[in-house]
Structures are given as C-alpha cells and as structure tokens.
Structure 1
Amino acid sequence: MTISTIALIGFGEVGQALATELSQRPDLTLKVYDLTLFDNRSTVARAAAAGHVVRCRSAAEAAKGADLIISAVTAAQTEAAARSVVLGLKAGAWFMDLNSASPEAKIAAAHIIEGATGRYVEASVMSPIEPKRLASPILLGGPHAEMFASLIGALGFAGATYYSDIPGRAAATKLCRSVMIKGLEALISESLLSARYYGVEDVVLESLNNLFPYPDWEGYARYMISRTLEHGARRSEEMREAARTVAEAGLTPWMSEAIADRQAWAPDYAKALKTEGLKPMLDAIRDQIHNRKDAAE
C-alpha cells in the first residue's frame, strides 16, 4: 500500500517535529487537526500557519482520504483520538498511535480502529522526539506491526522497528522505562533543591559520582531538572499512565504516583530555565517557592 496522504491528530511538540520533515516531501499531502488549531493566539495555530500542511476543522475531516493517521495527542486522550477519526477513516487505513498511554488504553484504542476497518499499530517513542525526529527509536506493536515496519521506513522513520505482535507490549516497555527516567528527574530535583537549602549540594553530587560515575554530574543534574520544568505537565500525564500500567500489573503504584505529582509541580517554576548553571537554577526555583509562600500567607 502506497502512503500519499497522512493525517496528524495532535499538533504539539511531537506532531510539529514530525510535520517539519514529512511536509518537505513533495509526494506527500499532510493534513493536521488539533483542538487549538484555529485559535490564532496558540503556538499550535502559528506553527501550522507557517508550515506546509492542510489545516482541518475536525479529526474526521483530517482522516478522510488519509492512508496513514498518526495520533500524537496527550496520553489521556488516546481513546478519544481514536474515536474522533472513525467517521473519516477509510477501510484499510493505517493508524499509528504514538501516545504514551497504558497497555489497556492502547488495546481499547485498537478495538475502536479495528472495529472501523482500520489497521491499528501501537508505537512507543523511546527517546525525546528532538533532535532525531523521524529517526527517533520507535517500537511498533500489534498484529499489523511487522507489515507496517516494512512500509514506514520509506517515509523516513529510520528508527521505527517491529517489536511485538502482542497488543500492549510496546506501551508497557515505554512506561516501565518511564518510571525510571521520569523518576530520576523527580529524585534529582527533590534531592538537590533540598541539598541547596542546607548548603550541601557539592558533597551530595560528589557522593553520587562515587555510586553512579558520570563525567559531569552537575551538568547532568541541571539537564534532568530542566526537563521537569519545561515538560513536566506532559510528563506528569505520562506518569499517570505509568501508574495505571503498574496497577494493571498488580502492584500499588506508590512511586509512579509520587513522580507524577513532582513532575506536575515543576512547570510552575519554569522561569528558572533562564538561568545558567545548576546552582543559579536551584536558587531561582527556591526563590520562587519562597515568594509563593509569602504571597499565600
């Protein structure tokens, strides 16, 4: 099956990164839909207006005639996004679900698409979408995944590989990994913000290097904290899905839920991103915490 028309459902960070490269291909028509696509105040609207894409008023309109639909919405909207394209979905169209949702949510979305005669493929992006974009490592899962893997490479998805024909396994892999990665971000944030208050951050960092050798722990810590400040809202939602995944495995997701809370907390202090270096960043966050407490009293 030749793919000549692609619909992007969701035009946030992931959607825009994919569109930047896909829209450069003269053999492709790229249609997009996002809830804020026609709100001229939104960054989504500005990005779409500046790109070579066809803006659509509904997900069904974007899906109409599309050979491939890529769902790149927030995790909580995974099933809703699948339902939203059904009226425009043509028989045999591919539906690539990039959302960081739990295995159960992915399986539910698959039932929606398959019930509408589409071909559902779950896709778990195993790294930040930037800077690799289409070349980002992506695990493909579900009964159509192997066939889809041989097709999608021609579109430039160089990092997409067949992973499993078992529904939900790719999602489980990503979210179990997220417990570790997002957990490290949350732990580093909480540890070093507290250590800075007590003036012991240098010794803490030195001791971390003894346990987990790294050439630049200070720079690494700043990077990890900056990820929470910049992307904490999306990360917290992903961690809610990770908690759901842990619960589906029969465990109480104490850690995942705490990580989600810390990630959700962080973006309120995003002004600290303007600083240079770890200690100024920690100080900027702590100053904002102090100011908020004073304002509340």
Structure 2
Amino acid sequence: MKLAIIGCGEVGRLYARVAAESFEVVLCDAYPSPAARDLAIELGLTLHERLGDWLAGVDRVWSCVTGDVAAAVAEQSGAFVSPGAMFVDLSTATPADKLRSSELLHTKGIEYADAVIMGAIGMTGLRTSLLVSGEAAATAVADFATIGAPARALENARPGDAAALKLLRTVLTKGIEALAVECLVSAEKQGVREELYRVLGDIDTQGFTTFLDAVVRSHLLHAERRSHEVERAVAQLDQAHLPSSVLAGTRTLYERTVHSLAAHPPGPDAATSIDSALAWLLSVSEADIPAAV
C-alpha cells in the first residue's frame, strides 16, 4: 500500500520513519528542512517539493501540515488523488475547515478522516494518542494500529468533531500552562515552590476531571469570595514585579460571573450538579453576546 506523507516537520518525520516499515512511503514538503532531506536519504524515500500527478498512485495521504494551510493542501491534493484513496488530515485546522475539506474531497470520491494528536509528540513520540472522526475513521485507526500508534475513532462523529475536541483540550491545557508559568515563576522567586507542590496534593488525590467538575459547579456559590482571592493574588504578583496577564483574565471572568449572579440569579438547584451549573453558565454567556444585526 502506498502512503504519501505531506508535511515533513516533527510529526511527519516521526510517522514516516515508522510507516516505512509497513507502507511504501513517499514524502512531500514545499520547503523541506535539512532533517527532512536527511530522513529521505536515510530511508531511501522520494521527497517531492510540490503536489502533483504523482499523488494519483497513492492509496493513503496523511497530511501533517500546519493548521493554517491544511484546507488549501486538502483542496490542492484533491486535484490529483485518485477516487477511492483516503486523505487523513492530521493538522490542527479548525473544525469548520476540516468539515469543508471533507465535503470537497467527498465530491471527488476521496475518503476523508479528521485525525488529531492528543498530546505532545515531542514528549511521547509514537505513544501519543490520536482521536479520529469521519466516515473513514475506522480505516484510519486500523492504519495507525499498523505502525503502533494508539488511535480511537469517535462513534457517529463528523469530520471536525475530533478537531473540536482537540481545541477544547487546548483551551484547558494551554490556559493551565500559561497560569503555571505565572504561578511557578512567582513561587520560585518567593522561595516556596516545593511547598506549593505539597499544597496542591489534594488535586492529585481527587483526580483532575473530578476537580474540574467540582470547581465549576461551586463557581456559582463562591464566585464573589473567590474573586477577592484573585484580587489578592494579582496584588501579590504585582508586588513581586512579576507578570499577571493570565491571572488578570481570570479576574475578568470572576467579575463577569459576579455581575451575572446579580443580574440573572440562578435557581436554588443550579449548583447541585455540574449539568445544572453549566446550563446556567451557558445561558448567561449567551446573554452576554450581542445579537447579530
């Protein structure tokens, strides 16, 4: 089976190296790095610098390009890939872009799978989990299993659904990353970082997703008190002459919740479960969005 890997960055090179043991691999990169050229030479692979008629002979395409060019690469590939082949988009493109790419390729008889990498390839390599959606998801998962890459198909999910989950994960993980930078730098400057790890131990004990549900549910009950804690935390970082830009955004969120609690008081049972808490938070969030003209 012939596999084209488009995009020879860190992701493309990782999958190319292992896929070459099970597939007939051909590479493509518009601006190949020295590392990409070296890999092609090492494995004896053809490295193209542009899409073209050579794609007509492949059975699978794994697009490992960046999200900003992913839709264009899918569209351009569709002019050359043969009907019956499968295009797997491993980029971080938006859900809307992935859905449009799927629809475009479908008109040409090309199967499409939306695949996202749920972790840091640079840290966990081939062991990094993949999530896949779309009609061709099961086939893509089977192909990934061939190279030892753990992948799971979302049931009854459209192309773009995997991408949506990836970006929702990004909201949380990158937000935590940014807050961790602010917090640990401040803790290091104050000489209390090791003790900070100890006082965070309760989160380890209860489990992270349980912790998330608990703080969101209780947000309705304690937003005003917690907003004052955030004010003092901002003041602490300011006094240490350290940046608090992410924490400042946290302060804004608490201010919005406190305002919404006063303007649109939740029912007595709103904080009894994560479902009811989210229903109220969603209602006030939508109320804050100006109506389209």
TM over 0.5: yes
Of residues 43-52 and 126-135 in structure 1, the stretch that sits farther from structure 2 once superposed is 126-135
Closer/same/farther in 2, CA of residues 114 and 137 from structure 1, 3 Å limit: same
Letter paired with 1:36: Y
Within-5 A mapping of 1:255-266:
none
Deviation at 1:158, TM superposition (A): 5.0
Closer/same/farther in 2, CA of residues 209 and 171 from structure 1, 3 Å limit: same
Q: Given that residues 33 and 62 in structure 1 are in contact (C-alpha distance below 8 angstroms), is that contact kept between their aligned partners in structure 2?
A: no
**Pick from 169, 172, 179: which aligns with 1:177?**
169
Instruction: Give CA deviations for 1:48-103 in whole Å, capped at 9, x if unaligned.
Output: 33333211121235523110000111121220221231222111110011112221
Name the structure 2 match of 1:13: 10
Within-5 A mapping of 1:90-101:
90-101=82-93
Name the structure 2 match of 1:112: 104
Deviation at 1:176, TM superposition (A): 1.3
Within-5 A mapping of 1:1-297:
4-25=1-22, 28-37=23-32, 42-61=34-53, 63-129=55-121, 133=125, 136-149=128-141, 151-152=142-143, 155-167=146-158, 168-213=160-205
- Give the paired residue count: 209
Q: Given that residues 6 and 67 in structure 1 are in contact (C-alpha distance below 8 angstroms), is that contact kept between their aligned partners in structure 2?
A: yes
1:122 aligned counterpart, secondary structure: strand
Give me the whole-angstrom Cα distance separating, in 2, the residues matched to 1:53 and 1:123. 24
Q: Given that residues 64 and 90 in structure 1 are in contact (C-alpha distance below 8 angstroms), is that contact kept between their aligned partners in structure 2?
A: yes
Q: Given that residues 141 and 169 in structure 1 are in contact (C-alpha distance below 8 angstroms), is that contact kept between their aligned partners in structure 2?
A: yes
Give me the whole-angstrom Cα distance separating, in 1, the residues matched to 2:196 and 2:124. 33
1:88 aligned counterpart, secondary structure: coil
Instruction: Give CA deviations for 1:240-295 in whole Å, capped at 9, x if unaligned.
Output: xxxxxxxxx9969xxxxxxxxxxxxxxxxxxxxxxxxxxxxxxxxxxxxxxxxxxx
Give me the whole-angstrom Cα distance separating, in 2, the residues matched to 1:125 and 1:66. 23
Give me the whole-angstrom Cα distance separating, in 2, the residues matched to 1:196 and 1:146. 47
Deviation at 1:185, TM superposition (A): 1.9
Q: TM-score, length-normalised on structure 2?
A: 0.62
Give me the whole-angstrom Cα distance separating, in 2, the residues matched to 1:147 and 1:43. 30
Compare CA radii of gyration and give the structure with the larger one: 2
Closer/same/farther in 2, CA of residues 116 and 61 from structure 1, 3 Å limit: same
Closer/same/farther in 2, CA of residues 134 and 5 from structure 1, 3 Å limit: farther
RMSD: 2.8
Structure 1: 5+ residue runs without aligned partners? 215-248, 253-297
2:57 aligned counterpart, secondary structure: coil
Q: Given that residues 145 and 165 in structure 1 are in contact (C-alpha distance below 8 angstroms), is that contact kept between their aligned partners in structure 2?
A: no
Structure 2: 5+ residue runs without aligned partners? 207-281, 287-293
